[in-house]
């Protein structure tokens, strides 16, 4: 299934994606960028959901895959408490508790109270989580290979710079929205 999804992605890239641009709007680079931000983002999520649902007969959702990934990232950074992971995912600890409980019952995560501070609970991936994370990483590596194989080095550099600019915009916009809520 993963190979099939990656082949579909490769086909879409060769056709320049399924960018749906309103025929009443002049086809400019800015309109293509807007279309990308609005539509392709959701197409990527749908493709990933389809590819990941093939793993373990769909017993793990895309959100659960991303939670497992956040636990691995937190563990690497020494920030794998419930609070750390909730902050990383921008969710409440209550929402995280529900998700961790679900993944714990499926055998993907384990919780351990800290011996020196019983209030802190650390989340650890299990062997099943390692396998799921490898599958998820393979999906992303395959997607990046297909994309980078269709671009030359200059194009890759240009796209990378543009994506850094987009990331900076979204980080700033998100911070401003949070600031204005308070």
Q: pLDDT digit string (tens) for 84-96?
A: 999 999 899 999 9
**CATH (domain of 82):** 1.10.10.10
Q: Is residue 167 part of a domain?
A: no
Domain count, the chain: 1
Q: Is residue 90 part of a domain?
A: yes
Q: Count CA atoms closer than 13 A to 166's CA, side-chain side.
A: 11
Q: What is the pLDDT of residue 24?
A: 47
Q: Is residue 106 part of a domain?
A: yes
Q: What is the pLDDT of residue 46?
A: 87
Q: pLDDT digit string (tens) for 106-132?
A: 999 999 998 888 889 999 999 999 999
Residue 21 CA from chain centroid, whole number: 26
More confident residue, 133 or 10: 133
CB 64 within 8 A of CB 108: yes
Q: Is residue 144 part of a domain?
A: no
In this predicted structure, which of 13-22, 48-57, 95-104, 168-177 has the lowest mean pLDDT? Answer: 13-22
Q: Is residue 6 part of a domain?
A: no
Q: pLDDT digit string (tens) for 26-82?
A: 567 788 888 888 888 888 888 888 888 888 888 899 899 999 999 999 999 999 999
Q: Model pTM?
A: 0.74
Handedness of CA 174, 101, 81, 124 (dihedral sign): negative
Residue 144 predicted with pLDDT over 50? yes
More confident residue, 51 or 10: 51
Q: Is residue 38 part of a domain?
A: no
If residue 4 lies in a helix (H) or strand (E), which one and from where to where? helix 2-14
User: Residue 89 sits in which domain range?
Assistant: 62-129
């Amino acid at each position: 299934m993963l190979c099939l999804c990656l082949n579909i992605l490769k086909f879409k890239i060769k056709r320049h994606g399924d960018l749906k641009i309103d025929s009443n709007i002049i086809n400019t680079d800015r309109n293509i960028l807007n279309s990308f931000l609005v539509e392709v983002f959701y197409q990527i999520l749908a493709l990933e959901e389809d590819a990941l649902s093939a793993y373990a007969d769909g017993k793990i959702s895309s959100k659960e895959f991303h939670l497992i990934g956040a636990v691995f990232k937190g563990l690497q950074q020494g920030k794998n408490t419930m609070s750390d992971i909730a902050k990383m995912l921008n969710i409440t600890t209550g929402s995280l508790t529900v998700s961790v409980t679900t993944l714990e019952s499926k055998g993907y995560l384990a919780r351990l109270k800290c011996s020196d501070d019983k209030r802190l609970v650390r989340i650890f991936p299990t062997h099943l989580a390692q396998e799921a994370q490898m599958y998820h990483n393979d999906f992303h590596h395959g997607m990046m290979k297909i994309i980078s194989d269709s671009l030359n080095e200059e194009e890759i550099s240009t796209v990378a710079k543009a994506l850094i600019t987009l990331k900076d915009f979204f980080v700033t916009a998100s911070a401003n929205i949070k600031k204005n809520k308070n």
